[in-house]
Structure 1
Amino acid sequence: MESTDALTTDTLKALIKESLREVLREERLNLSQLLMPFVSNEEQAEIDASLGSPEDYADEELINLTDWVRHGGSIQ
C-alpha cells in the first residue's frame, strides 16, 4: 500500500509541476504581448523603408532567438 501512495504522490507532484510550468509559460507570453508596443501600418512601412526587411540581410547578419525565447532566456 505504501508504494502505491508514493507513486500516486510522485505522479501528482509531477502533474502539478508541469501544470505550473504551462501556466507560467502562458503568463510570460501574455506579459510579453502586453509590453510589446503597438506599431501602426504607417510606422511599419517607415521602418521597412529605412531598414529593409529580413530578406534583405544575409543569414550571417541575423541571430535566431527562437530557442532563447522558447526556453525563457537560456539556450540549451
Structure 2
Amino acid sequence: MEILELKALIKESVREVLREERLLLCQILIPYVSDEEQGEIEAEFGFPSDYNNDELIDMTNWVKHGGQISQAGN
C-alpha cells in the first residue's frame, strides 16, 4: 500500500470515528422529555403536521454532511 493510500485510509477512518462520536455527543446532550412534558409541548406548539411545508426548512442534508450545504441539492 502506498503512503498516499494509507494516509487517505487513515483520514477516512478518523472522519468516521469523529462523526460517530459527534452523534453520540448529540444524543447525550438532548434532554429527556417525559410524556407529560411532551404533552405540554404539543398542546402549546401543536404537531409538525399542523405546519405548512413552506414554513419548514429540511435540515437533513446539512446535518448529514456536518454543516456543509451541497450546492447540487439546493
Give yes or no for TM over 0.5.
yes
Deviation at 1:59, TM superposition (A): 0.3
SS of 2:58 mapped into structure 1: coil
* Residue in structure 1 matching 2:31, options 13, 37, 40: 37
Q: Which amino acid aligns with 1:13?
A: K
Which structure has greater helix proportion? Answer: 1
Alignment of 1:1-76 (within 5 A): 8-76=2-70
TM-score normalised according to structure 2 size: 0.86
TM-score normalised according to structure 1 size: 0.84
RMSD (CA atoms): 1.1
List 4+ stretches of structure 1 deviating above 2 A: none
Any stretches of 5+ residues in structure 1 without a counterpart?
A: 1-6
Sequence identity (%) = 61
Any stretches of 5+ residues in structure 2 without a counterpart?
A: none
Q: How many residues align?
A: 70
